[in-house]
């Protein structure tokens, strides 16, 4: 059951992702369709020179489309997985261009890469490579710039090797396809050959490949044989063949490949998705002239596992119905080749020698197509909308409309711009001003000689103004919090030599989730302690409970290793989250620091009872207890009544710079 839900969730996520990508490309698709339409209209109106310009513009858009598909897909996947598109898009373009140029997959008129299947594949591979290794834009002002540079160079070298491998594999696939083309004997003038011809066209079109180009030799021969048969029939020298170019153009592509007019009507009749209905209404003017790009890329049909099935199946069923009707003499065989842009019903009338039977036959084919498309479309629409069977949450379901789809990426862009602003702020902080440490004492109510501080990082700008620690979120957002933590450890260890460590002074350092889960952090701390000649017993590592919700095994190993060095390990902000007690059972802490939020409710009996209960933790775990956030004499008296001896808060002292901390420690030591 779980596996089926997982597969369904993966499928629905894929459908949603592919829909977003092709929706973003709709403006380009619509421009191409309109260019083709206007070009044919101008040709019909006897303006061939102007028509050529529109056809050239259409060719240019077709040439640009695969590259745009690669960029948009890469951009979407990278923003979805919180990796900078600035890193991923160049990777994708390098792979796409290398694979395309090496294998001749370029548009003849523009020289641009022209295979959408390769574009999509290289975008997915590139995004996967960058997301897996969590690559970020290089910033010379970052602390880890040099190491990040060499890591990215090594990663890019490996990526180039992968590109060479994909280039080779693509070349082998192309050679195999050429052999298939040579061995593929398709005769569209026979029933079996015609069905095979339609099947190949549908399958290729479903993955964005122009099947008519792939089967160019067969199509060229079909056109020549049809003209020859029509000439012989008109001369009375041969019977009229049922199968011919006009048969395929008039009855196999009604509304465009896949008999898309049937899908359009299916959407208008049965859709409950406003976006799909709007899309279908917008597509009517184009579909009536057999231009179906709006449906192909708007729903989308291509690369969509659900809609590919009827897209391929409907023309095959239509072939059988139309051929049977003409073979049985119910409808006059096609006696002329009509232009492929001739609207449905008009094309049926003209193709069958001005016969109403041709129009009726097209209606039957369309009706049958609607019924075939219906179950597949409803299944897809249900997945896209996220009906009551969907496992997506409500706010995810609402993202099925066109507005929400575009809004997703718009929001991602705003987030990226915000992250860029954050990067600029952090870069400025690292290149000007300085980070300094402040120290807040921990007071022992029964031992006046007790010396302990919690270190708190602050930033001074170039004018000497002190800034609050809001910048920590900036480092977290950039994925640089481990670098900040290591810098703080360095600053604290440098300061500790000025404190009376010989008198038993301890200094606590807060570390983030990423840092405490880093396999190399213990080795780093050990080496820095040795470098600054600080006793491990003077250092205390404080871990917030939110930091230990994941990666339990590595965190546990790191805590044990730090304690083996002699470093004290404390859990900070205990009681502020929901997983406090399991943490005490899972990890062997030396100290527990009770969060100030627990004190805020002690004016009520229930709050007092809870705090008194937590104060007994030391009896069970053997951990030392610290009451954080003491700001009034009443709060001091209460925690003392609860049996807690060590306190920290503004009532005793605010965080102070090193010089004042040294004076404070000297005063305590002299008592």
Task: State the helix-helix crossing angle for 26-44 and 48-80, rounded to 10 degrees.
Answer: 170
- The pLDDT, as a whole number, for residue 545 is 58
63-72 pLDDT, tens digit each = 888 888 888 8
Whether the pLDDT of residue 200 is over 60: the answer is yes
Question: What's the full length of the chain, in residues?
Answer: 671
**Listed range (416-420, 472-476, 515-519, 567-571) with the worst mean pLDDT:** 416-420
427 or 129, greater pLDDT: 129
Q: Kindly report the CATH number that applies to the domain delimited by 432-665.
A: 3.20.20.450
Inter-CA distances, 638 with 146, 174, 511, 627, Å = 52, 79, 30, 10
450 or 382, greater pLDDT: 450
- The pLDDT, as a whole number, for residue 120 is 85
DSSP for 531-592, written as a single string: HHT--GGGEEEEEEGGGGSS-HHHHHHHHHHHHHHT-EEEEEEETSSS-HHHHHHHS--SEE
Pair 470, 461: CB distance under 8 Å: no
Band of the pLDDT at 420, cuts 50, 70, 90? low
Q: What angle do CA 64, 69, 74 make, to 5 degrees?
A: 135
- Read off the pLDDT of each residue in 139-157 and give the average, rounded to a whole number: 73
Whether the pLDDT of residue 30 is over 90: the answer is no
First to last CA, the chain: 69
Q: Where are the domains of the chain?
A: 1-183, 185-400, 432-665
> What integer best gives the mean pLDDT of the chain?
81
**Listed range (277-281, 345-349, 447-451, 478-482) with the worst mean pLDDT:** 478-482
Inter-CA distances, 51 with 109, 256, 292, 338, 606, Å = 17, 21, 20, 20, 82
- The pLDDT, as a whole number, for residue 181 is 58
Helix (H, G, I), strand (E, B) or coil at 458: strand
Phi and psi angles of residue 443, each rounded to the nearest 5 degrees, phi first:
-100, 130
**Listed range (123-127, 358-362, 408-412) with the worst mean pLDDT:** 408-412
Inter-CA distances, 397 with 375, 383, 386, 394, 613, Å = 21, 9, 5, 5, 44
**Listed range (132-136, 253-257, 560-564) with the worst mean pLDDT:** 132-136
474-501 pLDDT, tens digit each = 787 777 788 889 999 999 999 998 988 8
Whether the pLDDT of residue 23 is over 80: the answer is no
Count of C-beta atoms within a 10 Å radius of residue 161: 10
Task: State the helix-helix crossing angle for 85-102 and 116-133, rounded to 10 degrees.
Answer: 140
Report the DSSP beta bridge partners of residue 625: 592
Band of the pLDDT at 417, cuts 50, 70, 90? very low
Whether the pLDDT of residue 276 is over 60: the answer is yes
Strand 434-441 relative to strand 452-460: parallel, antiparallel, unpaired?
antiparallel
Pair 66, 113: CB distance under 8 Å: yes
- The pLDDT, as a whole number, for residue 399 is 40
Count of C-beta atoms within a 10 Å radius of residue 62: 20
Whether the pLDDT of residue 580 is over 80: the answer is no
287-346 pLDDT, tens digit each = 888 877 778 777 788 778 888 899 999 999 999 999 999 999 999 999 888 877 788 998
- The pLDDT, as a whole number, for residue 576 is 67
Whether the pLDDT of residue 9 is over 80: the answer is no
Band of the pLDDT at 180, cuts 50, 70, 90? low
- Read off the pLDDT of each residue in 621-646 and give the average, rounded to a whole number: 90
């Amino acid at each position: 059951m779980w596996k089926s839900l997982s597969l369904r969730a993966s499928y629905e996520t894929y459908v949603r992702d592919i829909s977003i990508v092709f929706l973003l490309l709709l403006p380009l698709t619509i421009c191409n369709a309109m260019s083709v339409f206007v070009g044919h209209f101008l040709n019909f109106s006897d303006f061939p020179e102007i028509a050529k310009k529109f056809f050239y513009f259409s060719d240019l858009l077709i040439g640009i489309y695969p590259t745009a598909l690669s960029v948009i897909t890469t951009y979407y996947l990278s923003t979805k997985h919180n990796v900078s598109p600035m890193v991923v898009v160049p990777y994708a373009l390098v792979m796409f261009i290398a694979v395309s140029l090496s294998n001749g997959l370029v548009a003849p008129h523009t020289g641009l890469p022209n295979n959408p299947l390769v574009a999509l594949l290289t975008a997915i591979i590139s995004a996967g490579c960058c997301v897996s290794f969590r690559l970020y834009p290089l910033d010379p002002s970052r602390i880890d710039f040099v190491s990040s540079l060499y890591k990215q160079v090594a990663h890019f070298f490996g990526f180039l090797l992968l590109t060479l491998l994909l280039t080779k594999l693509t070349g082998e696939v192309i050679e195999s396809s050429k052999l298939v083309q040579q061995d593929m004997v398709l005769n569209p003038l026979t029933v079996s050959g015609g069905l095979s011809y339609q099947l190949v066209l549908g399958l290729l079109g479903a993955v964005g490949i122009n099947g008519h180009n792939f089967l160019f030799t067969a199509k060229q021969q079909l056109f020549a044989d049809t003209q020859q048969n029509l000439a012989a029939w008109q001369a009375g020298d041969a019977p009229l063949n049922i199968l011919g170019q006009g048969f395929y153009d008039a009855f196999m592509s009604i509304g465009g490949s896949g008999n898309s007019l049937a899908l359009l009507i299916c959407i208008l009749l049965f859709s409950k998705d406003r976006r799909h209905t709007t899309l279908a209404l917008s597509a009517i003017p184009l579909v009536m002239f057999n231009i179906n790009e709006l449906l192909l890329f708007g729903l989308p049909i291509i690369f969509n596992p659900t809609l590919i099935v009827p897209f391929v199946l409907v023309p095959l069923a239509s072939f059988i119905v139309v051929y049977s009707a003409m073979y049985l003499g119910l409808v006059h065989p096609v006696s002329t080749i009509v232009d492929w842009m001739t609207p449905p019903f008009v094309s049926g009338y003209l193709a069958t020698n001005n016969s109403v039977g041709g129009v009726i036959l097209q209606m039957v084919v369309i009706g049958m197509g609607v019924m075939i498309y219906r179950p597949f479309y409803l299944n897809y629409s249900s997945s896209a909308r996220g009906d009551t069977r969907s496992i997506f949450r409500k706010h995810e379901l609402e993202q099925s409309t066109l507005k929400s789809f575009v809004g997703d990426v718009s929001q991602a862009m705003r987030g990226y711009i915000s992250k860029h602003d954050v990067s600029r702020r952090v870069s400025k902080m690292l290149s000007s001003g300085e980070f300094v440490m402040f120290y807040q004492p921990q007071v022992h109510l029964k031992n006046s000689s007790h010396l302990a501080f919690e270190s708190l990082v602050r930033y001074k700008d170039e004018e000497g103004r002190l800034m609050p620690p809001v910048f920590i979120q900036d480092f977290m957002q950039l994925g640089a919090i481990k670098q900040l933590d290591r810098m703080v450890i360095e600053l604290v260890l440098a300061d500790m030599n000025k404190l009376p460590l010989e008198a038993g002074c301890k200094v606590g350092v807060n570390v983030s989730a990423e840092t405490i889960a880093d396999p190399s952090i213990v080795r780093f701390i050990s080496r820095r302690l040795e470098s600054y000649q600080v006793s491990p017993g003077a250092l205390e590592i404080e871990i917030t409970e939110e930091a230990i919700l994941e990666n339990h095994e590595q965190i546990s190993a790191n805590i044990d290793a730090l304690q083996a060095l002699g470093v004290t390990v404390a859990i900070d902000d205990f009681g502020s989250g929901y997983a406090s007690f399991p943490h005490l059972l899972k990890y062997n802490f030396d100290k527990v620091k009770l969060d100030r939020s627990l004190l805020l409710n002690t004016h009520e009996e229930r709050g007092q009872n809870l705090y008194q209960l937590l104060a007994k933790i030391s009896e069970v775990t053997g951990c030392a207890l610290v009451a954080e956030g003491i700001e009034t004499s009443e709060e001091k008296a209460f925690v003392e009544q609860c049996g807690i001896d060590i306190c920290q808060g503004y009532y005793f002292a605010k965080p102070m710079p090193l010089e004042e901390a040294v004076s404070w420690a000297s005063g305590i030591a002299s008592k």
